Structure 1
């Protein structure tokens, strides 16, 4: 059994708590909770029957914590992640793994140096439909990949951004690409491969905030395919995130958890995954299932037990942040930006 400590008691922590509880007490348990808000930490801990503290360094010093989930605001992920790894804890960080690419790379290197497992939450990789599409691509059933597109046409009200002083800030939250869009951008890189260059534009169109609420980009992948990505929190009333894959032999179009079009030679469209929770988060970030967090945490536990990398590594998190950071640089300079390879070791 792995013993979890959770740092942060906001909305996203609830998904981690329910995911860990769903794994069963013989596999995993929450043994400690930390939050700067002492009363919130105490309330959650009393509900779970575990220890609590308002100082996360006290949680990291506990011998009954093997792995830490960081569910704090995005701008604190790097600092807390470094402290957790330095304390010898395996680490799961909510997206993004860090706000800057060099910070994400530093986390990956620290984990490697200490032989600790680092994973960033990219739970959409564990949705059955996405795993089926990944298999189809790996088997070459679409032929040569020509174009891969992702879009995240979400809506967030001004009151959402006004609900906390860090929301919508570049340093602590990020905009539509770094916050809402990063799951789809991770899927884009997972399905289409590593990016070579990107040209992008970002604007703050409809909200009073620092970061962007609309970003678009054109990507060239190392395999020669082209890609597009769009993320926004200004699209009213909000629509499911979409993925479109165009190959020389066929096409797949997805919207949320639904198939919009499927023409794959020799492969019928898979039946609806009846047991899979419906896609959510279009206009309410709380309207998602914890099931895919649970599946990812299960994979992390298995990776720790076997000494193998998890399906979603810290390096995967780095690549997504690196691509988004390059979009910001492109928008600021008006130039196409090369995506430089980096070695973790």
Structure 2
């Protein structure tokens, strides 16, 4: 049953990712775009005219003037997430924040704490969980169809050329953005934890090989999960000349699954003892006929609208989930800096 009212959202940060948020809000039957905010006047004017919505240059001004706003979507560079979340939460607004939740554990914990203090809900945008292939793999793991796990692999072999980083001064910086792990591969790291459980230890190397940035453009890690099986992380934005592969692989005593392609949307390999060939073909064909499914951004934003309407409902991707992915990235950085294994 559709709610009679629409939850009012506001966007802070009118960059590329904000368009996904706005489209998701506009496509929802229970969400409505009430306002946008950006410190860049040209970009603010462009978005305001394109989406026919009132624009503000200050988040405080927006929240003071538009008191009906219920949810603030933070779509700014990552280093700005904490101060903006603090303001929004102190105005008693629920928050949807783009990944990563923050760039430091202190900032992530501060965001979670201020939301709890103000009794507002917090969701972090990790949309890849909702891809049909990932939902299938999650169901496979939940039902223990692969038996005892040998090892898993998370790979991001993408291209972000120098022109990409030169488009904005904050890109590739340690203060506002981070490197391939914090920006691109954090989705795969979130999936590793979500699919396979907590990680106990990492041994990692990072480097800046081809891009003129402060942060890493390539990283490799070996990880040990709490259940005892091993994993490998490979992440790079140095692949020539375009995105090559994003994949999640898992190998067990009773089956193996590889989800891959340029983005991890397709079943590249599946063989599970419990499935006959007809069942396997049906599963693969179902995903290949609709590899993208409903947008993860749409699911997360629609979920937050339901959470606002229903006080007893909590976000499907929580602040704590976002913190766990960040914790893994920071452990990889620490291991690389210290040149030794690091326990999470």
- How many pairs does the alignment contain? 327
The answer (yes or no) to whether the contact 1:137–1:191 under 8 Å persists in 2 is: yes
Equivalent positions of 1:216-227 (< 5 A) are 216-227=220-231
Counterpart residue number, 1:266: 274
Paired with 1:264 and 1:113, the residues of 2 have a C-alpha distance of 47
Paired with 1:144 and 1:290, the residues of 2 have a C-alpha distance of 32
- Residue 249 to residue 290, structure 1, CA distance change in 2 (3 Å): closer
SS across alignment from 1:273: helix
Counterpart residue number, 2:321: 316
- Residue 56 to residue 220, structure 1, CA distance change in 2 (3 Å): same
SS across alignment from 2:245: coil
Measured after TM superposition, the shift of residue 274 of structure 1 is: 5.5
The answer (yes or no) to whether the contact 1:2–1:66 under 8 Å persists in 2 is: yes
Measured after TM superposition, the shift of residue 302 of structure 1 is: 2.2
2:224 equivalent to 1:210: no
Q: 2:31 aligns with which of 23, 28, 39?
A: 28
Gaps of 5+ in 1: 279-288, 340-345
Counterpart residue number, 1:303: 307
SS across alignment from 2:287: coil
Gaps of 5+ in 2: 1-5
The answer (yes or no) to whether the contact 2:307–2:314 under 8 Å persists in 1 is: yes
Equivalent positions of 1:95-174 (< 5 A) are 95-174=99-178
Q: 1:5 aligns with which of 7, 10, 16?
A: 10
TM-score by length of 2: 0.91
- Residue 113 to residue 276, structure 1, CA distance change in 2 (3 Å): farther
Q: 1:39 aligns with which of 27, 39, 42?
A: 42
Paired with 1:136 and 1:304, the residues of 2 have a C-alpha distance of 31
TM-score by length of 1: 0.91
1:225-258: CA deviation from partner (whole Å, max 9, x where unpaired): 2111111100113212111011221110110211
Measured after TM superposition, the shift of residue 277 of structure 1 is: 5.6
Measured after TM superposition, the shift of residue 63 of structure 1 is: 0.9
Measured after TM superposition, the shift of residue 319 of structure 1 is: 0.7
Which runs of at least 4 in structure 1 moved beyond 4 Å after TM superposition? Answer: none
Measured after TM superposition, the shift of residue 300 of structure 1 is: 2.0
Counterpart residue number, 2:247: 242
Pairwise CA RMSD? 1.6
